[in-house]
Amino acid sequence: MMQSQPEATHRPAQLQLVNVWKRFGEGERQTVAVRNVDLSIAPGEFVTLIGPSGCGKSTLFNMIAGLLPPDPDGSILLAGRPQMDGALLGKISFMPQRDLLFPWRTVLDNATIALEVEGMPRKAARQKAEALFPDFGLQGFEKHYPHQLSGGMRQRVALMRTFLFERDLILLDEPFGALDALTRSMMQRWLLEIWARHRRTVLFITHDIDEAIFLGDKVVVMTARPGTVRCEVKVDLPRPRDASILTDPEFMEIKRRLLAVVEEESMKSFAAAVAP
């Protein structure tokens, strides 16, 4: 079950990380956040990423998105082209961990921000966004303000904004982290439907092992900091998926394996945090 991604022979990987490192600061106070990360994601693949808190997941996303330069050791390639000095900034849709909606903008105007920043006239941006409202379960809420929405709805607005920015690769940093369990499982099923319809390549960070397996074609586990890839586990469960796969023997077997490694890495992370 534990295996590395086979080499893509026909098309270049949508995303390829080769020996990616990130160190913050100098000398004794240096933090090595990410070390020697190799990862390959095929076009259209849904990959989930789990690992202990502080192991460098968001840092990795910031580097992929072009917001933070990686150290010069390695390279990040998007469809074969290097992400150097933010060269591909704007080529990726990115939902950061703490995604804030602007409270003074309506739901519709929050959804169109990235398009407007890109230079699309506001009217055209609004038309494009409006077409997506039914898919995202937000029809009728176009003129509402973020504070008038539930937590799940706000997350859907943020996701809609990310999907509207039509890029082949989508990075989602714990998009459902703040939701209660019931809303969260509804959102997971909904996201898979959206993904099936709008077929993009997705890299999705979560702390929830069930969520990682339920959504992913493969689950990537990172080690405690300095974070690197500890293992990749392929999830060959059929799609479309519903709650019944949570009790599938294959699901439970994958979960058992993942729990063992995630627990080990989390203990290392905890031990490092409380060490004198």
Ligand X SMILES: Nc1ncnc2c1ncn2[C@@H]1O[C@H](COP(=O)(O)OP(=O)(O)OP(=O)(O)O)[C@@H](O)[C@H]1O
Q: Which residues bind ligand X (CB under 6 A)?
A: 24, 31, 33, 51, 53-59, 97, 225
Q: Which does 54 bind (CB under 5 to 8 A by kind): Mg ion, ligand X, none?
A: ligand X
Q: Which does 59 bind (CB under 5 to 8 A by kind): ligand X, Mg ion, none?
A: ligand X
For the record, the structure tokens of 267 come out as 């203990």
Report if residue 59 touches Mg ion, rule: CB under 5 A.
Answer: no
Cβ at position 57, least distance to Mg ion in Å? 5
Q: How many residues bind Mg ion (CB under 5 A)?
A: 3
Which residues partner with 82 through β-bridges? 77
CB 154 within 8 A of CB 146: yes
Cβ at position 239, least distance to ligand X in Å? 27
CB 57 within 8 A of CB 222: yes
Nearest CB to Mg ion, comparing residues 50 and 107:
50
Cβ at position 130, least distance to ligand X in Å? 33
Those residues whose C-beta lies under 8 Å from the C-beta of residue 235, and which sit 6 or more positions away, are: 213, 216, 217, 218, 219, 254
Contacts of range 68-73, beta carbons closer than 8 Å, 24 or more positions apart: 68/22, 70/20, 70/21, 70/22, 70/34, 71/20, 71/21, 71/22, 71/23, 73/19, 73/20, 73/21, 73/36
| SS3 call for 97 | coil
Nearest CB to ligand X, comparing residues 35 and 218:
35
User: Stretches 9-17, 74-82, 97-105, 183-191: which one binds Mg ion (CB under 5 A)?
Assistant: 97-105
Q: Which does 44 bind (CB under 5 to 8 A by kind): Mg ion, ligand X, none?
A: none
Residue 236: is it exposed, middle or buried by C-beta count within 10 angstroms (0-12/13-18/19+)? exposed
Spatial separation of the C-alpha atoms in residues 206 and 172, rounded to whole Å: 9
Residue 32: is it exposed, middle or buried by C-beta count within 10 angstroms (0-12/13-18/19+)? middle
Nearest CB to ligand X, comparing residues 208 and 250:
208
Nearest CB to ligand X, comparing residues 56 and 146:
56
Nearest CB to ligand X, comparing residues 167 and 225:
225
Pick one of 14, 58, 106, 188: the residue that binds Mg ion (CB under 5 A). 58
Nearest CB to ligand X, comparing residues 29 and 123:
29
Binding site for Mg ion (CB under 5 A): 57-58, 97
